[in-house]
Amino acid sequence: MDLHSGYPYSLVRHGLPFNYPKLEGDLRTPVAVIGGGISGALMAHALVRAGIACVVLDARTVGLGSTGASTSLLQYEIDVPLTELKEKVGAAHAQRAYELCARSIDKLEKICKRVDDAPFERKHSLYLASFKKDLPKLEAEYKARKEMGLDVMFWDPAKLKDLVGLDSPGAIYSRTAAQTDAYRLTHALHQYNLKKGAQVYDRTLVQDISFLKKGVKLTTAQGYTVQADHLVIATGYETLQYLPAKIVDLHATYAVASEHHEKGPLWYEDCLIWETKDPYLYMRTTPEHRVIVGGRDEKFYNPIKRDKLLPSKAKQLQQDFSKHFPHIPFAPEFTWTGTFGTTQDGLPYIGPYAKMPNTFFALGFGGNGITFSQIAAEIVCDQIRGKQHPDADIFSFNRYKG
């Protein structure tokens, strides 16, 4: 699947920091993980920390799928606001999903402190009302978050103008957010996992999966086999090739990284900024004082059509930023486009799928896929160990409505 094009900033900055071998022989392992991006790396990390040996297989060079195109915001908010999610999945599951996403940011911070060269920056975030008509919904969202104990404040137009220099009818200011570099973090995790006994193979396409009474057998395009007691599929948006159910809708998204500025912060705390409009615009800075702006999504999966729109979308994103911050110079240096997916309720799919025995999925769909991937790693690791996870039902395939 063609997942991105252009020049994703992280790939340009970091290149290919490590090399991984192709699989050139048959293997036996307790757990095989298909997908070597951020989801697979976090999954393998949870497994080795639990003392479970695993083999990671990726069809591409590690990190060159969706991970390389990630803009790497870490937020507890999902693409469906809490107030709407309550109506979709019930108040208890909605609040718990938001709570788990908030906790996952803390857990990712602990992981990054443990792993060498793992990037992590604590941030605050600002969720802007794009239009005056959005204000009642935003106020209701603020109330719902406040009632469940999230650390949020509501900022009126005067405070937004005074502190951030933005014109907006209002905003939710949250102290729970962070940012990373998904591509660099993926490689850092793999290096840690390798030292703990994991094996990582890239450019190794799994062409066939056979389900056995006790385990699975994977056959690669080169004819080698990997026999495992358990299989975890963490291939992100490419997972549709394994699932008969249409669990995700694929869309195109766009991003621009500016030239670097000599110093920062560029705006109030260099907080993460995003908006209520659909599709929403979002902004963040990098440690090198660049600005990354993303959005202008299109509801289709068509790489040729997607890529043709990149020049015009990049220009629109530049204009979007300049409308918010006309005093901050924005000279685009890197532009890229990628594929992402959304589910019916905005939540990921995690855990076993009835038609694929001994197999688990770790699918962090949506705008905050990295936090979902961390949640998936914990849940699936417990399930592989034969333990019931108290939150597994929230993300299970049982909720799918075809």
34, 235 Cβ separation under 8 angstroms: yes
For the stretch 111-161, pLDDT in tens is 999 999 999 999 999 999 999 999 999 999 999 999 999 999 999 999 999
Burial of residue 12 (number of CB atoms within 10 Å: 0-12, 13-18, 19+): middle
Structure confidence at residue 246 as a pLDDT band (50, 70, 90): confident
Residue 77 domain flag? no
> Within this chain, do residues 276 and 319 fall inside the same structural domain, yes or no?
yes
Phi, psi at residue 224, to the nearest 5°? -85, 155
Which of 342, 359, 377 is the last residue in one of the domains? Answer: 342
Q: Write phi, then psi, for 233 (nearest 5 degrees).
A: -100, 115
Tell me: do 271 and 331 sit in the same domain. Answer: yes
Same domain? For 225 and 354 the reply is yes
Share the mean pLDDT of the chain.
93
With respect to residue 371, please indicate whether it lies within any of the assigned structural domains. Answer: yes
Q: How many domains does the structure of the chain reveal?
A: 2
Return the percent helix, strand and coil in the chain, to nearest 5: 35, 30, 35
Tell me the longest C-alpha to C-alpha distance in the chain.
Answer: 65
pTM higher than 0.85 for the full model? yes
Supply the CATH number for residue 262's domain: 3.30.70
Q: Does a structural domain hold residue 87?
A: no
Q: Is 388 exposed, middle or buried (0-12, 13-18, 19+ CB in 10 A)?
A: exposed
Residue 358 forms part of a structural domain: yes
334 SS3 class: strand
Locate tokens 């009126």: which residue? 156
Domain-located, residue 217? yes
- CA 289 to centroid of chain Cα atoms: 22
Residues 268, 164 contacting (CB under 8 angstroms): yes
Which residue range is the domain that position 324 belongs to? 249-342
Of 325, 342, 359, the residue that ends a domain is: 342
Read off the tokens for 95: 């609040």
- pLDDT value of position 3: 47
Question: Identity (one letter) of the amino acid at 143?
Answer: K
What tens digit of pLDDT does each residue of 292-348 get? 999 999 987 788 898 999 999 999 999 999 999 999 999 999 999 988 778 889 899
**How far apart (Å, rounded) are the C-alpha atoms in residues 270 and 281?**
16
Looking at the fold, whether 329 and 361 belong to one and the same domain comes out as no
What is the spatial distance between Cα 301 and Cα 308, in angstroms, rounded to a whole number? 13
* pLDDT tens per residue across span 248-303: 788 889 999 999 999 989 999 999 999 999 888 999 999 999 999 999 999 877 88
